[in-house]
Amino acid sequence: MIDQLFEFVQNHPLLVAAFLMVLLAWIVYEIRNSAASGVSSSQATQLINREDAVVVDTRDAGDFKAGHIAGARNIPQSRLETRMNELEKVKEKPIIVVCKSGQSSGMSVAKLAKAGFPRVFKLKGGMMQWQADGLPVVKK
């Protein structure tokens, strides 16, 4: 098995090099996205308590009503661009974007940053992590 692998590498050096470059680029991309502008549940709590951060929940209304962070504003991701003006009054405050699992909030963070919001963060792990950490949720 290993002999076949070495033989393949020797016979197809360009293909192997291209694969390794794509793999390296993907790893760098994932590392940057996971670390970039993300805050943990405890960091989010500190931002909320110390700097009066605004929490924007981008899940749909049903998920929001089932349980959300106290004081969060529900602006579904699909409507963020049209409802961004609702956040103009709090533009200078930290904004924490929350989704279900922390995967889709990056797009909302990028949209808000592009619109000129200086301090926008995503909640790493989203509401799933918030609840797993035993932090309180409000149900409507």
Annotated active-site residue 134? The verdict is no
Q: Which amino acid is at 134?
A: G
Out of 48, 56, 99, 109, the active site residue is: 99
H-helix segments, 12-139: 13-35, 41-51, 61-66, 80-83, 105-114, 126-132
CA 80 to CA 108: how far, in whole Å? Answer: 7
Compute the C-alpha angle 85/128/99, nearest 5°: 20
Buried b (16+ CB within 10 A) or exposed e, 77-106: beebeeebeebeeeeebbbbbbbbebeebb
Angular region, 67: left φ>0, alpha ψ -120 to 50, beta rest: left
The catalytic site residues sit at 99
